[in-house]
Structure 1
Amino acid sequence: MSPAHRFDRGHTDDLMTYLAASPSPYHAVANAAERLEKAGFTRLTETDAWDASAGGKYVLRGGAIIAWYVPEGATPATPFRIVGAHTDSPNLRVKPLPDTGAHGWRQIAVELYGGTLLNTWLDRDLGLSGRLTLRDSSQHLVNIDRPLLRVPQLAVHLDRSVNTDGLKLDKQKHMTPVWGLGKVAEGDLIRFVADEAGLAADAVIGWDLMVHSVEPPAYLGRDRELLAGPRMDNLLSVHAGLAALTAATTGEQLAHIPVLAAFDHEENGSQSDTGAEGPLLGTVLERSVFARGGTYEDRARAFAGTVCLSSDTGHAVHPNYAERHDPGHQPLPNGGPILKVNVNQRYATDGHGRAVFASACERAGVPWQNFVSNNAMPCGTTIGPITAARHGITTVDIGVACLSMHSARELCGADDPFLLAAALTAFLED
């Protein structure tokens, strides 16, 4: 990589701060909202009437956030430029009746969320985070960011074949974390979490809690050219989108309305009121058009001129498993963002989208790479095809190449977060 493309350490340092402060989707959007407020954005309530004023606005719902900036002079038919991402990551989530245990151990009953890489959660110090809902319907974030839980692996002495036949984990029996010794008491966990949050336990009637690794993000490698950390799939893209949106709104007059759409529940199919397959994005965009005096005709014109870059992590070529990758498309860390292609529409990219992305990278002065799956391997998917199909919006799938996707701790190039943000900024400013 040329000296001009050495990564911006300030951007990557800030990403590490964001990752550490965002152990759950609810924390991710709360931290995003705080950053947007500092940049002059105003939160809108969905039940209120919206006006035609210019400036930055955002809507927050659960683990999703939609933010946009209406420039002076925007008409009802002004198209949008959207950066799409998601806030959720595969992990272990607390069941409705969490208190369990056996043989003198106290444990926490969990469900597996998303395509969890199970073995990466073994023998790892885990905290607990999420939100509590009180009787008055108020919601409170909680983050117990210290070693509290652990999923202990069976010792090799009791499983002599583990290194020859491979590790076999039963999702129901083997993934239950321990958190102490003693008699199991109903309501114990929620009483503990409520106390940690400074709330009365009897006021808590709902919870959305999950475990997270308490090990902080860190630079890795001889020259610190790699970044290891949790939840980079896909908070790396959320953070880059925030940086791009706030940067784009401080420049010259915009010809489009820049948008950041960060959804929840991508890892389990996006089918929710805060997922990409729900109505949230379309409703927000339509209300923006109508608040500016637009008609359905204006809405159709605006959507027809809209482009979305769906940004999510992708696969860097794995040096120990290179045969799992397409031999002609092997992205490397610090090679710049990747363009994802799948002709069976697991990714939404086509030739026109490729030109949009390549043009943005060219204007930003950043390199980029191509990604396509090995024909013998199934291809993953993203919010890209969902966004394209649901809203009729031209959509391009991009991202950052990484290793250990869906692990409790993932790995990417330390240059790439900045390079992605630079490309997204150029896209939003066009």
Structure 2
Amino acid sequence: MHEELNQGLIEFLKASPTPFHATANLVRLLHAANFKRLDERDTWNIDAGGRYYITRNDSSIIAIQVGTQPITERGMRLVGAHTDSPCLRVKPQPELQNQGFWQLGVEVYGGALLAPWFDRDLSIAGRVTFSRDSRIESQLIDFHHPIATIPNLAIHLNREANKGWAINAQNELPPILAQVPNQDGLDFRALLADQLGREHGLIADVVLDYELSLYDTQPAALIGLNQDFIAGARLDNLLSCYAGLQALLRTSPLETCLLVCHDHEEIGSTSACGADGPFLRQTLQRLFPKEDSLLRAISRSLFISADNAHALHPNYPDKHDANHGPKLNAGPVIKVNANQRYATNSETAGFFRHLCLAEEIPVQCFTTRSDMGCGSTIGPITAGQLGIRTLDIGLPTFAMHSIRELAGSHDLTHLVKVLTAFYATPELP
């Protein structure tokens, strides 16, 4: 199971350079497990024991296993994660011609660590909207091979580089695509139209718009002398999406279980498909249309927000509270914050500790230093939206929000095992 899960995660990360591709790959795996697609524009016919999924914006997805037990008595078991990661997004009119080079204007999406984006072999992927035969269509594209790079300035020309410098996102991040003799013929939309033809055999009349991201083409890998680590892009938070899916696929049909993977977490979650939008609430209302029954079910339910936790870095131990430094390969982390940046309380944390103890899974705890700020997750947002009991957890990670992050190669198995047990537990706190 350990090797199979790690290899599956590596393949999932490689095939999911954007939230759109991540959602498409989750759909593919759900289809293979006989989950049925529900269209938000149609009337839904839901059966006890049925397995379904819904997507919104092609970048968020909710997968549901409707239990055979009544939800008003047993509640629901929900696991939440997010499909987006900090990155560089291509601007609407990106063509730049500087000193004989074709470059692209980009903007920073989310709280990205910018320095690691330099000197990487970059490609471009995302969603393209175009007209064809008088119809407007959208399609995912992925150039796959390296087509861009952001070269560093040589140390000889920036003697202060190793002392740290503020990166100007407007001036220093435009990637280089090619050398060009003049500005004539710089047409990014024409490049996208050509890619639609090569990748999908589609002839677009006009490329109307797009949502495209740059990504590192170096694939994820098991690394370290004893392969103790997984290194790769977008571990935050596709690792949790993948773990939640694997747990859902392993559970029995008795209980009602959901996997909720939202887009836009890295930029605040306020959107039609984000956690601070109506997607989950509207889905639950349609699945269980009797309001009184749904509210009763929510009061018996539990939501686990799974998002990566900051592991104790050996070079920076003073960045952690001395008693709350999670270690790689030492199990999932319960995340606690007195100011509700995480939604964990003593009951939900106690339940999770009990579950880990029963499954013989190591468990850790994280709270930030009292003199440092704390990030947040979809946990408090979902708790506020639904009034549902919530727990924040995550796997310990180094270099969060870098172009390449690092996690423990044994922790994925721990997380899948405990989430599988959560989905199957007959009694919630």
Choose 38-47 or 132-141, whichever is displaced more. Answer: 132-141
Choose 135-144 or 269-278, whichever is displaced more. Answer: 135-144
Amino acid of the residue matched to residue 127 of structure 1? S
CA separation in 1, counterparts of 2:94 and 2:402? Answer: 24
Amino acid of the residue matched to residue 51 of structure 2? G
Deviation for aligned residue 1:137: 3.2
Provide the residue aligned with 1:214 in structure 2. Answer: 217
CA separation in 2, counterparts of 1:27 and 1:193? Answer: 17
1:58-112 alpha-carbon deviations (Å, 9 max, x no partner): 0011210001011234356652110000000000001110111211110011110
Deviation for aligned residue 1:366: 1.1
Structure 1 residues 38 and 102: CA distance shift in structure 2, 3 A? same
Provide the residue aligned with 2:177 in structure 1. Answer: 179
Deviation for aligned residue 1:184: 3.2
Amino acid of the residue matched to residue 215 of structure 2? H
CA separation in 2, counterparts of 1:71 and 1:392? Answer: 21
SS in 2 for 1:30: helix
Choose 349-358 or 83-92, whichever is displaced more. Answer: 349-358
CA separation in 1, counterparts of 2:136 and 2:279? Answer: 21
1:77–1:289 CA contact under 8 A, matched in 2: no
1:312–1:398 CA contact under 8 A, matched in 2: yes
CA separation in 2, counterparts of 1:202 and 1:244? Answer: 43
How does 1:56-205 map onto structure 2 within 5 Å? 56-62=51-57, 63-74=59-70, 79-135=75-131, 136-163=135-162, 165-182=163-180, 183-185=182-184, 188-198=187-197, 199-205=202-208
Q: 2:42 aligns with which of 20, 30, 48?
A: 48
Provide the residue aligned with 1:232 in structure 2. Answer: 235
SS in 2 for 1:373: coil
Choose 182-191 or 148-157, whichever is displaced more. Answer: 182-191
SS in 1 for 2:371: coil
Q: 1:317 aligns with which of 312, 328, 346?
A: 312
1:99–1:185 CA contact under 8 A, matched in 2: no
1:360–1:424 CA contact under 8 A, matched in 2: no
Provide the residue aligned with 1:3 in structure 2. Answer: none
Amino acid of the residue matched to residue 178 of structure 2? G
Provide the residue aligned with 1:276 in structure 2. Answer: 275
Give the RMSD, CA atoms, in angstroms.
1.4
Amino acid of the residue matched to residue 247 of structure 1? R
Deviation for aligned residue 1:203: 3.0
Deviation for aligned residue 1:318: 0.7
The count of residues paired between Structure 1 and Structure 2 equals 415
CA separation in 1, counterparts of 2:46 and 2:10? Answer: 36
1:77–1:298 CA contact under 8 A, matched in 2: no
Choose 361-370 or 153-162, whichever is displaced more. Answer: 361-370
Deviation for aligned residue 1:160: 1.1
Q: 1:409 aligns with which of 404, 409, 419?
A: 404
Provide the residue aligned with 1:8 in structure 2. Answer: 2
CA separation in 2, counterparts of 1:8 and 1:99? Answer: 46
CA separation in 1, counterparts of 2:184 and 2:371? Answer: 50
Provide the residue aligned with 2:349 in structure 1. Answer: 354
1:18-69 alpha-carbon deviations (Å, 9 max, x no partner): 0000000000000000100111100000011111313100001121000101
Provide the residue aligned with 2:321 in structure 1. Answer: 326
1:337–1:367 CA contact under 8 A, matched in 2: yes
CA separation in 2, counterparts of 1:227 and 1:280? Answer: 32
1:256-315 alpha-carbon deviations (Å, 9 max, x no partner): 31000000000000011110000000111111111xxxx221111011111100000010
Provide the residue aligned with 1:376 in structure 2. Answer: 371
2:102–2:186 CA contact under 8 A, matched in 1: no
Structure 1 residues 103 and 390: CA distance shift in structure 2, 3 A? same
Amino acid of the residue matched to residue 153 of structure 1? N
Provide the residue aligned with 2:23 in structure 1. Answer: 29
1:123-163 alpha-carbon deviations (Å, 9 max, x no partner): 10101000111232322110111111111111111111212
SS in 1 for 2:205: helix
SS in 2 for 1:172: helix
Q: Can you give the 5+ residue segments of structure 1 that lack an aligned partner in the other structure?
A: 1-6
Choose 191-200 or 218-227, whichever is displaced more. Answer: 191-200
Amino acid of the residue matched to residue 180 of structure 1? A
> Is 1:390 equivalent to 2:388 in the alignment?
no
Structure 1 residues 172 and 13: CA distance shift in structure 2, 3 A? same
Q: Can you give the 5+ residue segments of structure 2 that lack an aligned partner in the other structure?
A: none
SS in 1 for 2:145: strand
CA separation in 2, counterparts of 1:67 and 1:78? Answer: 19
> Is 1:336 equivalent to 2:339 in the alignment?
no
SS in 1 for 2:127: strand
CA separation in 1, counterparts of 2:184 and 2:313? Answer: 46
Choose 24-33 or 138-147, whichever is displaced more. Answer: 138-147
TM-score w.r.t. the length of structure 2 is 0.94
TM-score w.r.t. the length of structure 1 is 0.94
1:90–1:267 CA contact under 8 A, matched in 2: yes
Provide the residue aligned with 1:247 in structure 2. Answer: 250
Identity %: 41
CA separation in 1, counterparts of 2:185 and 2:110? Answer: 27
CA separation in 1, counterparts of 2:304 and 2:166? Answer: 38
